[in-house]
A and B are shown apart, each in its own frame.
Chain A
Amino acid sequence: MSGKLSYASLQQAARWYVLLQDDPPSAQVQVQWLQWLDQHAEHRAAWQYVQRVGKRLAPLQDEDRQLATRALEVHGERQLSRRQGLKSLVILGAGTMLGWGTWRGTALPRWVDGWRADYSTGTAQTRETVLADGTHLWLAAISAVDADYGQAQRRLRLHFGEILVDTANDAANRPFVVDTGQGRLRAAGTRFAVKQWEGTTQLNVYRGAVEICTAGSGERRVLEAGQRMAFTHRALGEVATAQTAGESWVRHVLMADDMPLGQLVETLSRYRHGYLGCDPAIAELPVMGAFPLDDTDRALRLLAAALPVKVQRLTSWWISVESA
């Protein structure tokens, strides 16, 4: 299948499929559908993909289908109740659940989709929420967070992805902490962003101060407003100037201020379905500018205009940024 295939075309194809499937469609609907198909090669390609979904079911014979549906429903319900079961056990007492504890010990990979988390987002989604104490929490795309408010402390656990936190004053004066796979962050009256990926946590502090304590080595360091640091579970990194990018995604803008191209492309890929990657040879190119996260096609055009790079599209689902 060549060239262009947009998400919008797939949506249209799916709508037609649903319309044509129900009862006998009117002649008018059929004519309109044929006209739509005729309009673009892209429409025909999208139609084929939607049809192919139906073909996945083809190995099932008519007499299997009712049982197959039941089995999938039973399976779905069991999965759901297992998830809920796990969650309530965690609330009852995570300390006794050794296996579960180890399970959560390392950063969860993307494909787990954060289904166990209290708050999570998928590709191209962001989420804003207000926690019980009035603290504001924003999740960037592909992120998962658990909130665990106890008598002694208010605790967030970032499984993966990126969050922005604006803490509220707590009537009970409980400390506010964020745990990642690499360490614990302790905050007071602050606004800060935390990002976790590939064994690294990055902290940006925008107001107040946050103390880092690494999980492995127990090293501590307080970051003030306007500072950032990346650290692993063993070692703290260098103190640098806070990146506006850690806050700007809340407004659907990626502010690149001397950001390596590789990091920028990786961030864009979280806001786009399909594969989007960057040639390692140019991943270190520094980029300045404001890129829209809600229109990644435009962001890629801006990138190609501003830098000596070209955007290679094998299909609209497979895009790589390469040296021009």
Chain B
Amino acid sequence: MHRLYADHHGWLQAWIRRRTGCSQRAADLAQDTFLRVLSARAKGIAVYLEQPRAYLATIARGLVVDQWRRQQLEQAWLDTVAAHPGAVQASPEHSALILETLHEVDAMLRGLPGKVRRAFLLVQLEGLPHRVVASQLGVSDRMVKKYLAQALVHCAVLEAELDGLLVE
């Protein structure tokens, strides 16, 4: 591991910097990448190292994409707030909490079809009745229930998997 770090840390940081254009972020993400490798090893997951750079780049890319999504989401939130000037001004702490929750929800719903995702948001988050959501999505009431159950199972599986990982 020490060797891996010594041989590739500089390269990885430069690689991330080229993609993000920010050296501070590159330093952080390079660090996170090595942490991932360490924790994978600690869990007994075989780490493939015939091409260490390809492996590190793969992990780093995931972190970059994740961070990029975070920024996009933050922008979407700021744009939405700006478009609704009447909305209550949240304190910085509360805004951070909102963003963190949004990020969790976004990650949780990733991979679900568009209508399933929308149905979940409109009902669970906004609290609209099923029939209102049905007419918004142009589907039947029963379909909305099906979408909701699908989204809930998807999320519950993630929750359960999270526990599975924590049992270790």
Query: Once the chains bind, are A10 and B156 in contact (CB under 8 Å)?
Result: yes
Residues of A in contact with B, size category: 35 or more
CB distance A21 to B123 under 8 Å? yes
Known: A65-B127, A74-B76. 11 other contacts (CB 8 A): A1-B163, A18-B145, A54-B124, A56-B155, A63-B87, A73-B121, A75-B76, A109-B61, A111-B62, A315-B160, A317-B163
B20 contacts the other chain (CB 8 A): no
A76 within 8 A of B: yes
Looking at chain B's contact residues, the main secondary structure is helix
B156 touches A46 (CB 8 A): yes
A260 contacts the other chain (CB 8 A): no
CB A100 to nearest CB in B, in angstroms, measures 12
Given known contacts A18-B149, A67-B81, A78-B76, A199 and B105 CB-to-CB distance under 8 angstroms = no
Does A71 sit at the interface, judged by CB under 8 A?
yes
Q: With A50-B156, A67-B81, A78-B76 given, is the CB distance from A56 to B125 under 8 Å?
A: no
- Say whether B105 contacts A57, CB under 8 Å: yes
**Beta-carbon contacts under 8 Å, B135-168 to A:** 145, 148-150, 152-153, 155-157, 159-161, 163-165, 167-168
Q: Is there contact, CB below 8 Å, between A274 and B72? A: no
Interface status of A36 (Cβ within 8 A of chain B): no
Whole-angstrom distance between the Cβ of B67 and the nearest chain A Cβ = 14
Question: Is B32 interfacial (CB 8 A cutoff)?
Answer: no
Chain A residue numbers with a CB within 8 Å of B148 are 14, 18, 21
Partner of A14, one of B84, B108, B153, B164: B153
Question: A78-B72, A273-B161, A315-B160 are known contacts. Are A68 and B98 too (CB-CB below 8 A)?
Answer: yes
Scan A207-237; emit 1 where CB is below 8 A from any B CB, else 0: 0000000000000000000000000100000
Is B6's beta carbon under 8 Å from chain A?
no
| Minimum-distance CB pairs A-B, first 10 | A318-B164, A14-B152, A75-B76, A317-B164, A53-B155, A71-B77, A71-B80, A14-B149, A49-B156, A69-B126
